[in-house]
Structure 1
Amino acid sequence: MTDTLFLTSSEVDGLATPAEYVDAVREGYRQRGEGAPALPRQTFRRENPDGKLTSYAAILAETGAMGGYMYTSGFSKPNAWFLTPLYDAETGEPLAIIDGASMNPFKTGAAGAVAVDALARDDADTIAVIGSGAQARGQLHTTTTVRDFESVRVFSPTPENRESFAAEFDEHLDATVEAVDSSTAAVSGADVVVTATKAADPVFDGDDLAPGAHVTAMGQYTPGRNELDATTIERSIYVPDLRARATQDAGSFLAALDAGVVDEDHVHAELGEVVAGVEPGRTSDDDITVFDSGGTGIETVAAAYMLYEKARDAGLGTDLSVEPASEALTGRLP
């Protein structure tokens, strides 16, 4: 029998700062770049009622943890439910089960921030955010910990949403934050562009990107749906979170492949390879870089273990008793 910590979403909420998420996730991607195992998401669909079950996992041996995400969305009560099982990478014992809803925007945002730190120009001071939901907020909270932005532009198709987003962050950040009325106005001249939408079609014109821009795209990971147009992919040094994901479900990359403007060799490196120094990132100030973020077990395990340690130190959570197979698999009749 072992004690496994259960953490609710409310216990996780506010437990770590954006910078702490970024530090943990950066370390996770360094380990991935040096060979830590991780695979792209696996998704199972049901048509009636319509919904999907998704999972992905990773082992971060140096951190001492392994596990991943398992979540559902849709079905007969349309919603999403996120659970993170976390295991000890040495003993295999379950360490924690975490309600992953609160950490989701921050661990995903941290992956985007790690990519900005690794791929964007050091002097980047203008960021464009396309999208105004929880994921866009997570991206901006974390990305502003790795660069000193002077200007933030946000575009969302709904005026009230972009205005409230801008007002919220104008109070929070030491930067000028403004809502703009088009993606062109947001992207033109921006050093960093973040897309965090549910759009099925490109949300800006790749010709609007300034030389030297970095793009983090995290809103689509489904074939046939793409936030970025083929021009953006073609112009870029293209870096996905996992190389295998580029041809599995990276909709923007697959669309560029279908258009014939790139081939599979256009995948420059995985993010972890750049973070670990195995492969270079940008090689000049004029390079356009793209990080295609679909979600992996890397940022999930890294963030979850960081939260687990902080929760233990703070005395948070509820211990659940979990019985090992050697004791449970006895063949006893009820």
Structure 2
Amino acid sequence: MEHLTLHYLNARDVEALAMTADEIIQAQEDSLAAQGRGETVIEPRMHLRPDPAFRGHFNVLRGYIAPIGIAGIKVVGDFIDNYKLGYPSEFGMLTLMDARTGVPRAVIDATAITDMRTGAMTAVGAKYLAPSEPKVLGHIGARGSSFWNVKLLDHLFDFEEIRVHSRRPESRDSFGQRLSDELGKSVTVTDDWQSCLEGADVMIEASRLEAPEPLFRTEWVRPGALVIPYGTQSTVEDDFTDVMDKIVVDHWEQCLIGPFGCLRRHVDGGKVTRETIHGEIGSICAGELAGRENDSETILFWHRGLSTSDIALGWTMLEKAKRLDIGTVLDYT
């Protein structure tokens, strides 16, 4: 057998790539458009909960993107108490393989990828579903992906006002300061959900609760807003979907899996079905389905996270790493 190698990118390598907002968003949008054209395979995610006492779980995501000929598998952990050890809540590893032969191409630290691609999914959703000139962003949560949510959204819309909130005061204060330093503008840190979200043009919920709790009140959603709630546990009220003109998801089959997610109760109870949703964001990116059609529409976008998002961004990173001679080439055979 011929000598085979694979590329390894660790966390420092990923940071050295200095991925731009446009690179991250484009990788996400291209993968979604491929999904909309039927050029991807997205296998149902799997959950592994090793022990309830660990207060966390693993997600296993698997997929294939035909235009780049790459299949991939990501394993990512999500552990609530990691902050006590000074760790991010999520650690991940991504493996990329040639889809025709199974030859491994790369192993990439996917901790940053998970945060970036989640932010990019939020941003691409907003690109197609937000009101035409959103001025106010309200964001709940300070998890790793929250930074990229706000950074990429502000890259697209340059908000006049950004409000953020999270459960722990030290977390929300440091998050607000980090965003202010990064964006070069004032960021308002609020003490409660209502003052953060009420009346915002774009409303993001990325909390990490231990159990479902209806903290996100339906009455705070103004007509014409875009709402993107993707926290681990449901935070919305039962009538939340009643005020929505459109519900868009990233992948319907993913919405049916596991015990987690904003609309878990609504799906399990039959209130949100394939027939009642507007469709998938990939179809919108591919031009097969309309996104927002006027500024009076109130729209909910629920994304669960896709393997193809990780694969697309990982592949973009790999190609850039090769150009810049970043990372380590390992002998496989």
Which residue is 1:251 aligned to? 261
From 41, 44, 49, the equivalent of 1:45 is 49
Measure how far apart 1:260 and its partner are: 6.3
- Across the aligned residues of Structure 1 and Structure 2, the Cα RMSD in angstroms comes to 2.3
From 122, 125, 131, the equivalent of 1:115 is 125
Contact 2:231–2:261 (8 Å) recurs in 1: no
Alpha-carbon distance change, 262 to 299 in structure 1, aligned in 2, over 3 angstroms: closer
3-state SS of 1:132 partner: coil
Which residue is 1:229 aligned to? 237
Structure 1: where are the runs of 5+ without partners? 324-334
3-state SS of 1:66 partner: strand
* Aligned residue runs from structure 1 range 199-218, under 5 A: 199=209, 200=211, 201-218=213-230
Which residue is 2:33 aligned to? 30
Q: Give the counterpart letter for 1:2 in structure 2.
A: L
Q: Residue 99 in 1 paired to residue 109 in 2? A: yes
Which residue is 1:10 aligned to? 12
Contact 1:257–1:264 (8 Å) recurs in 2: no
Alpha-carbon distance change, 80 to 115 in structure 1, aligned in 2, over 3 angstroms: closer
Measure how far apart 1:175 and its partner are: 4.2
Q: Residue 242 in 1 paired to residue 251 in 2? A: yes
Alpha-carbon distance change, 73 to 123 in structure 1, aligned in 2, over 3 angstroms: closer
Q: Give the counterpart letter for 1:21 in structure 2.
A: I
Contact 2:256–2:267 (8 Å) recurs in 1: no
Q: Give the counterpart letter for 1:311 in structure 2.
A: A
Q: TM-score by structure 1 length? A: 0.87
Distance (whole Å) between structure 1 residues aligned to residue 57 and residue 267 of structure 2 = 26
Alpha-carbon distance change, 148 to 131 in structure 1, aligned in 2, over 3 angstroms: same
Q: Give the counterpart letter for 1:41 in structure 2.
A: R
Distance (whole Å) between structure 2 residues aligned to residue 245 and residue 156 of structure 1 = 26
3-state SS of 1:122 partner: coil
Measure how far apart 1:19 and its partner are: 2.4
Distance (whole Å) between structure 2 residues aligned to residue 89 and residue 260 of structure 1 = 37
Which residue is 2:189 aligned to? 179
Q: Give the counterpart letter for 1:139 in structure 2.
A: N
Alpha-carbon distance change, 126 to 5 in structure 1, aligned in 2, over 3 angstroms: same
3-state SS of 1:127 partner: strand
Which residue is 2:311 aligned to? 301
Distance (whole Å) between structure 1 residues aligned to residue 167 and residue 290 of structure 2 = 36
Measure how far apart 1:261 and its partner are: 4.8
Contact 1:155–1:180 (8 Å) recurs in 2: yes
Q: Give the counterpart letter for 1:206 in structure 2.
A: T
Q: Residue 86 in 1 paired to residue 96 in 2? A: yes
Task: Please identify, of 206-215 and 181-190, the stretch whose mean Cα deviation from structure 2 is larger.
Answer: 181-190
Distance (whole Å) between structure 2 residues aligned to residue 276 and residue 155 of structure 1 = 34
Q: Give the counterpart letter for 1:40 in structure 2.
A: P
From 310, 314, 330, the equivalent of 2:324 is 314
3-state SS of 1:143 partner: helix
Q: May I ask how many residue pairs the two structures share in their alignment?
A: 317
Distance (whole Å) between structure 1 residues aligned to residue 187 and residue 208 of structure 2 = 23
Alpha-carbon distance change, 320 to 213 in structure 1, aligned in 2, over 3 angstroms: same
Q: Residue 166 in 1 paired to residue 176 in 2? A: yes
Contact 1:126–1:150 (8 Å) recurs in 2: yes
Distance (whole Å) between structure 2 residues aligned to residue 255 and residue 189 of structure 1 = 25
CA deviation string 1:223-267 (max 9, x = no partner): xx3133333323221112111122224533231245665444222
Alpha-carbon distance change, 18 to 179 in structure 1, aligned in 2, over 3 angstroms: same
Runs of 4+ in 1 over 6 A off after TM superposition: none
Contact 2:205–2:228 (8 Å) recurs in 1: yes
Distance (whole Å) between structure 1 residues aligned to residue 58 and residue 183 of structure 2 = 37
Contact 1:150–1:175 (8 Å) recurs in 2: no
3-state SS of 2:216 partner: coil
Q: Give the counterpart letter for 1:238 in structure 2.
A: I
Q: Residue 68 in 1 paired to residue 73 in 2? A: yes
Alpha-carbon distance change, 205 to 48 in structure 1, aligned in 2, over 3 angstroms: closer
Distance (whole Å) between structure 1 residues aligned to residue 52 and residue 206 of structure 2 = 28
Task: Please identify, of 258-267 and 124-133, the stretch whose mean Cα deviation from structure 2 is larger.
Answer: 258-267
Alpha-carbon distance change, 263 to 71 in structure 1, aligned in 2, over 3 angstroms: closer
Which residue is 1:327 aligned to? none
Contact 2:125–2:301 (8 Å) recurs in 1: yes
CA deviation string 1:281-317 (max 9, x = no partner): 2232121212212211121011100110111111111
Structure 2: where are the runs of 5+ without partners? none
3-state SS of 1:103 partner: helix
3-state SS of 1:46 partner: coil
Identity %: 26
3-state SS of 2:172 partner: helix
Measure how far apart 1:48 and its partner are: 7.5
